[in-house]
Structure 1
């Protein structure tokens, strides 16, 4: 189905208001509902699952170090409208077909509020998973200003629930950010980018089996999913009318598997001021920004000399990344049209500060442990290729038990041909370096033979992160302080099809 581009205006995502203030704590109620939403002018309304019946869900805003509470409610049907593979761990009978649990991605939260994949619940909590389930989540927001996002995390069906629409922004503010005189209000625009495919009737298309069908398994999980249209804030190829001034964009790659290498058709610079976990020390000028699934970028674009021009936000990342096919320049290579046609409402007094925040550099000498963790491929019981972390499966004994308050270095040894965006719950980390190594020698002997020098992260990756791209044939090292809470958490690849099919493991923070 061919859809006309840039005919729908970019939706403005509403900000959620608290239902009440209880003992000084903002209290929210958010209900997951099945609804219909028109995602393109030429499509009939599409069945979606949305937080408060919206796709994307409403933006939650909180202030740094101010506790909020959110009661997540499931009012979804008992049958999924997307193909559920019941051979995938966690989705097998007698587990119910529709299960949800919400994870605040990048949030430093106590474990009972983290959205553990087995802490799922069904409609009205009629059934709950094997892990402790709570209706109300505590979010202490023990972080500086940053753009997080919330999304479903139910074991075995995360890829389907997020694809159905269960995702939204979560912004943390602080006084330092407010003092920087960045573009704000109508000039700060969250951009939640996802790819989707549609059937002729406007319904969401998701494949029910891989290109090579698996005997006796239908529907079957697929290795990755790449849609043939790009949506921003829930609209297919929208447009945004702007004034000739500076704008701040909060970019989020919320796709299942697709990487994006963003650029502007005007060949302008992005001024990147932040990454996953907040502000960089100084702005970084760059004409391209690569984001794997779940990564974010905080950018400023100056349109002050572009009045009357039309600019396209583009994508050049291959799929799968990095060795797959380039995007179609007429479809998946296009994201958003920006039309600089609005008259200037007032003098633009925003700035791009030379200095943004203090960024301490974590020395690897702080680390009490260096964990060598491989990213691998294997076959499941049906002969399907699966990706694994450290050659383990979800149900295997837990081996990573870092101690609260210590520092650790985790080295991701990628033996596969895919780049994997690795997300560690609870912590924020810094990227130390990447280094090429001999994959064949490692797979045969477990010996690491490096084939080049360590490559420091690019300037725009030298802030706090919670998701890192581990490239094939490289060792990617990150360092973090363990905490601020103890308990049971997970780490995983954020390619959702990998995550659902065993590329996720629990870890325990011990006191």
Structure 2
């Protein structure tokens, strides 16, 4: 154990010296630290990835010290709901003002359609006020200048078709160092300021500090959003200005991707527009229902189709919105997307949760309007109740000998921790009433897949180890047509979200159940396979993450409401939520949503994800990456489009052009090898899963809308997608974030109607009928580069005729 710990310490010292410029790659090659292949050498006493009796857990390092911590001794952290700030339009402009509870504007710069970078670039009288307040270099806002990065569909004109996307509510967020005394459990040490970087609330007018601000939560925060109420989310970078103050890993440049909301590219967080400490970035998250521009394709056979395309108001009514209710979203999240550093930053805690509420999914079981699905939630507020609607974010950390979060930046296969935490808590428990609960489960690990099931721990009626059935209702935030009763979930790849309903009514006071991970994984490349429930409950020596990860403790009363702190449940309350065992649900008379039809595509694309044998992210002449990629020397992961040459990530290279909103495409994703698995994520739009190239496809994804697909080793997935509403630069990539950073990602460009098209004005005049230039951020402001359009990007590809 001491040898393995020394190996890890030596490795981290080398990483630190290299990142600080104290040693070079040539030095390391001469000393034998780097091999001929450009990767750090595996030497006993240096590399912790030398397998031995001293380091046999999945991290390849000594097991994380527990400091006496016991499982299921800590209550579950509930996601921390973020405060909503009203916005009002400013007189004489299209700006919005942040308003305080006293009805006066807060000390925050107004939100505006164009970035403050535009005004700062003019070097006028306000230049100093508009500069980065911590460094005096560059503008205060990290959003790039110009119309391509202006907020799309932003208008307060009451005659405009985009009026309904003008922001009405705001959020002030900090991405900063963790707050003092942030712990995974009481027995473990507090995390150092730069061990954990996470989101937290920011007070209006907070200036920040060049050494960082400790505003980040230890538990994930939650934004509760609703259709019909567009948001402006201002995210400040409150990390240290000195990038070496990172606790050994992580980059202090951030770009927040709202996965997978329907937003303009300038607010998607993956167009290479990252920003620096001291600056903010305004994201216009429009809570837009897809197909708002295509009323002709809506589900007219449903007499309630117009009412279902809606959000909840503050009473028991609805706010109707434009779009197709079949594309309503629910369980979402947002996280860092700084190219080449996503894995490090998200592992440090740079992610948060967001629930979208709608007329059908309003999270209030008192409203019976013929539209509300009555999913388990509560009734204390008009919408967004959480008493029986619970977000669970599963992470996979590892810790060094001092109990600080650990990550190895030289691992290109995938990083595995040796424990599973839920909402930032070490193996928590949750007290539940004997009624139905909805759980929104996010896999927020870097490289670990999970496969969850529910089993009895102790019960007066049921034997220990008995599997407990549950209802599967949503995949990646998209409702299934019909709820499915299961006893275990499908494998859940990184970033996939599974919504389930568990009925605890059969259990007595004092009974307990486990949420169990059945999937063994000892390599970041792919899972080893599932184990039986009995073996999982016993534990698997090769993988400590197999087994129970959370305990449910059934109580007949005495549980306090999270929606109304003055209320305590007695356990005698009637459960008004939907009972899926009811004959109307079993017969299909009641459904969660309506199936979107499969239609003939305008074009097809084939995208293969594989090992590249080196990659071409660096410019062969200058040795530079776009964006700057630090000390990364090898890019083993790449993407091949339509059978052309494979490429690794270059943010200035376009691999696919989507020429017109509204056209249907079929994409086929191929895993180019059998030795690994990839969870592939498509930004901005969901696809309807059609088939798996002859492989089995279960009812949880057959014809279901998704945004992440597990390819399986050597596997193939085909889906239908229809792009629309917005334009700009988006990406498609592997969400094993280590694969993404080394560098399995392609850029695609969505084009909007040109000025000579009748839809140019009707859908909002925008410049995105042209290809957008690539922003190149720096502490002194953003410059642009003309992108390279690869030959395979042209939308003319037709797949070969099958024999």
Q: TM-score, normalised by structure 1?
A: 0.86
Does residue 1:250 correspond to 2:440, yes or no?
yes
Does residue 1:34 correspond to 2:218, yes or no?
no
What corresponds to 2:554 in structure 1? 340
| Preserved CA contact (<8 Å) 1:364 1:409 | no
Mapping of 1:120-199 within 5 angstroms?
120-125=274-279, 135-143=281-289, 144-178=328-362, 179-184=372-377, 185-199=386-400
3-state SS in 2 of match to 1:499 = helix
3-state SS in 1 of match to 2:637 = strand
1:325 and 1:176 map into 2 onto residues whose CA distance is 37
Query: CA 1:56–1:500 in structure 2 vs 1: closer, same or farther (change >3 Å)?
Result: farther
What corresponds to 1:392 in structure 2? 647
Does residue 1:350 correspond to 2:577, yes or no?
yes
Pick from 451, 459, 479: which aligns with 1:261? 451
Query: CA 1:324–1:66 in structure 2 vs 1: closer, same or farther (change >3 Å)?
Result: same
Aligned length: 463
What corresponds to 2:734 in structure 1? 493
Query: CA 1:84–1:13 in structure 2 vs 1: closer, same or farther (change >3 Å)?
Result: closer
3-state SS in 1 of match to 2:81 = coil
| Preserved CA contact (<8 Å) 1:7 1:41 | no
What corresponds to 1:279 in structure 2? 479
What corresponds to 2:401 in structure 1? 200
Q: Deviations over 1:142-162 (max 9, x none)?
A: 242411001111111111111
Aligned residues: CA RMSD: 2.2
2:500 and 2:343 map into 1 onto residues whose CA distance is 28
| Preserved CA contact (<8 Å) 1:64 1:145 | no
Does residue 1:432 correspond to 2:690, yes or no?
yes
Pick from 657, 671, 676: which aligns with 1:414? 671
- Once the 2 structures are TM-superposed, how far is the Cα of residue 170 of structure 1 from its aligned partner? 0.6
What corresponds to 1:369 in structure 2? 603
Q: Deviations over 1:124-171 (max 9, x none)?
A: 13xxxxxxxx72111111242411001111111111111111111111
Q: Which has the higher contact order (CA 8 A, sep 6+)?
A: 1
What corresponds to 2:225 in structure 1? 62
1:394 and 1:499 map into 2 onto residues whose CA distance is 8
| Preserved CA contact (<8 Å) 1:315 1:335 | yes
- Once the 2 structures are TM-superposed, how far is the Cα of residue 190 of structure 1 from its aligned partner? 0.5
Consecutive unaligned residues of structure 2, counting only runs of 5 or more, are 1-64, 90-166, 201-215, 290-327, 363-371, 378-385, 457-466, 558-570, 616-631, 641-645, 753-803
Query: CA 1:323–1:199 in structure 2 vs 1: closer, same or farther (change >3 Å)?
Result: closer
| Preserved CA contact (<8 Å) 1:249 1:298 | yes
- Once the 2 structures are TM-superposed, how far is the Cα of residue 386 of structure 1 from its aligned partner? 1.7
1:480 and 1:189 map into 2 onto residues whose CA distance is 30
- Once the 2 structures are TM-superposed, how far is the Cα of residue 322 of structure 1 from its aligned partner? 4.7
| Preserved CA contact (<8 Å) 1:117 1:154 | no
3-state SS in 1 of match to 2:705 = coil
Greater strand content = 1
| Preserved CA contact (<8 Å) 1:434 1:457 | no
What corresponds to 1:380 in structure 2? 614
What corresponds to 1:51 in structure 2? 199
- Once the 2 structures are TM-superposed, how far is the Cα of residue 243 of structure 1 from its aligned partner? 1.0
| Preserved CA contact (<8 Å) 1:145 1:177 | no
Whose radius of gyration is greater, 1 or 2?
A: 2
| Preserved CA contact (<8 Å) 2:394 2:445 | yes
3-state SS in 2 of match to 1:271 = strand
Query: CA 1:383–1:318 in structure 2 vs 1: closer, same or farther (change >3 Å)?
Result: farther
3-state SS in 2 of match to 1:409 = strand
Pick from 705, 717, 720: which aligns with 1:464? 705
What corresponds to 2:160 in structure 1? none
- Once the 2 structures are TM-superposed, how far is the Cα of residue 342 of structure 1 from its aligned partner? 4.3
Does residue 1:405 correspond to 2:679, yes or no?
no
